[in-house]
Amino acid sequence: MTITWLGHACFLLESGGFRVLIDPFQNVPGLPDTEAEADAVYCSHGHFAHCYTEQIRLSEGKENPFTVEELRTFHDPEGGRLRGENTVRRFTAGGLSVVHLGDLGHPLSEEQVRAIAPCDALLIPVGGTYTVDAQGAKDVADQVGARVVIPMHYRSDFWGLESIETVDPFLLLWPAERIRRYPSGILPLEKDTPAQVAVLSPTV
């Protein structure tokens, strides 16, 4: 399976020629609105930075190798009272599972962890304000125990929402030898991919 980060919380998962697009966005400073070809699109919630589908070109007729499991969660620590619901999804194809946490805003219960673990890769928001913050994200990552952890939903000096944090506070919570920085947004995920925190660069 190939994982491609398009920026913010948007990813393209590819397996067997089938492309799944997750959380396409618009109006994220420094990044172009998502424009892509895909065979299926999923949004964790309806906010503009997570469900912009106007420029997505959908293909038809391909056999879908993915199974998709959904988990109802919330966008805030108050049961959705502040920002509503959030859908976590577990995508499985070719014997590999990837969990996209969307804009998760709270710790996971033991029951919720059992619903999504184990997984090979965890796509996790780390920027705080609208989601769990760095420590909250580290706690969730430890709960799930994914082999590969990919931070998302943070800002840099060049792109991202100004109201959220950079990735650095999250990375400081991990051993330096666990962190691997990639020059692009593409990560080939295999059954023998080493355990790591994979810091990708948005593919635009």
The pLDDT tens digits of the residues spanning 123-151 come to: 999 999 999 999 999 999 999 999 999 99
Instruction: Give the helix, strand, coil percentages of the chain, each rounded to 5.
Output: 10, 35, 55
**Does a structural domain hold residue 18?**
yes
**Does a structural domain hold residue 63?**
yes
Choose between 88 and 82: higher pLDDT: 88
Laid out side by side, the sheet with 179-181 consists of: 67-74, 85-93, 96-100, 121-125, 148-152, 196-199, 179-181
The C-alpha angle 195, 196, 200, rounded to 5 degrees, equals 140
**Which domain CATH number covers 139?**
3.60.15.10
Q: How confident is the model at residue 200 (pLDDT cuts 50, 70, 90)?
A: very high
Say if residue 153's pLDDT is above 90. Answer: yes
List, in sequence order, every residue forming a beta bridge with 148; answer none if it has no partner.
121, 196
Choose between 75 and 11: higher pLDDT: 11
Q: How confident is the model at residue 74 (pLDDT cuts 50, 70, 90)?
A: confident
User: Could you tell me which residues come within 8 angstroms of residue 79 by beta carbon, excluding any fewer than 6 positions away?
Assistant: none
**Does a structural domain hold residue 38?**
yes
**Does a structural domain hold residue 204?**
no
**Does a structural domain hold residue 176?**
yes
**Distance of alpha carbon 70 from alpha carbon 65, whole angstroms:** 16
**Distance of alpha carbon 109 from alpha carbon 85, whole angstroms:** 16
Q: Domain span at residue 184?
A: 2-199
Q: How confident is the model at residue 79 (pLDDT cuts 50, 70, 90)?
A: confident
Q: How confident is the model at residue 169 (pLDDT cuts 50, 70, 90)?
A: very high
Residue range 3-39, pLDDT digits in tens: 999 999 999 999 999 999 999 999 999 999 999 999 9
The domain total for the chain is: 1
